[in-house]
Amino acid sequence: GENVEQHPSTLSVQEGDSAVIKCTYSDSASNYFPWYKQELGKRPQLIIDIRSNVGEKKDQRIAVTLNKTAKHFSLHITETQPEDSAVYFCAASLLYSGAGSYQLTFGKGTKLSVIP
């Protein structure tokens, strides 16, 4: 099955700096890579996702990059703010061209702390 490794497990940055979280996956067939943000005591929420036919995707201060050859993908947060403090999870899955998908495998999470 798929295995997703996520690094670092904790990350502290000064407000306004950038944060980068990296993930590697084992199954070269995986083609869908979402990122979820979980604030303390809350539910995980999707913040950005990317499919393998795209190398990079941006949404305001958040971007995800994908390197299929190396089987790794990264989350980049620029101009960090205190409200970015949370646990971030990467995940990988195989979406079939029709309906259906293989199970979504999550990394173990990165606790990001943004220091004011």
In the sheet that holds 19-25, the strands lie side by side as: 4-7, 19-25, 72-77, 62-67, 56-59
Closer to other proteins by Cβ: residue 75 or 91: 91
Applying CB under 8 A, which residues contact other proteins? 1, 6, 9, 32, 34, 36, 42-46, 49, 89, 91, 93, 95-96, 99-101, 103-109
Q: What DSSP state is assigned to residue 43?
A: -
* Residue whose C-alpha is closest to residue 68's, from 55, 58, 86: 55
CA end-to-end distance (rounded Å), the chain: 41
Closer to other proteins by Cβ: residue 58 or 79: 58
Minimum distance from residue 48 beta carbon to other proteins (Å): 11
- Residue 79 has which token pair? 């101009």
Closer to other proteins by Cβ: residue 24 or 93: 93
Closer to other proteins by Cβ: residue 6 or 18: 6
Minimum distance from residue 15 beta carbon to other proteins (Å): 27
